[in-house]
Amino acid sequence: PSSRPEHLPDPVLAMKKIGGLLRPGGCAVLEFPNIEAWDLRVKRRLSGLGLHRKRYPDRYMPGHCNEFSHKSFSILAEITGFEIRIWETYSYIAFANYLLHLAPVGGKARALVQKNE
């Protein structure tokens, strides 16, 4: 199964439901934004200094209920009976993926999780 947990209001329930679809030892791939991405860190820093502001219309409703870093997603996986087997960040720019393999600070994260036996 594949899912996008950042759009779900209750990621614990979602992960438990995914776990219910898997046999012990079964795997799932999940993708979501990486809140610890270098570009988001820069934007947060600039915003804190008053040098960056969001460019959304006044009526904009964000689609993300949750945001994850490697640490926060590890906690989610652990409390819902999963182990992270692979964690990687990536970009839509091919060359950037080489660098992101060395330092996982890309804007998108992909996790292969395995249901505990």
Q: What is the pLDDT of residues 23-51, one digit of tens each?
A: 999 999 999 888 888 777 777 778 778 88
Task: State percent of the chain over pLDDT 70.
Answer: 87
Token digits for 59? 């009526």
Distance CA 113, CA 44 (A): 29
- Note the residue count of the chain: 117
Q: Under 8 Å CB-to-CB from 2, ≥6 apart: which residues?
A: 28, 29, 30, 31
Q: Record the pTM.
A: 0.77
Identify the CA nearest to 38 among candidates 96, 111, 94, 87.
Answer: 96
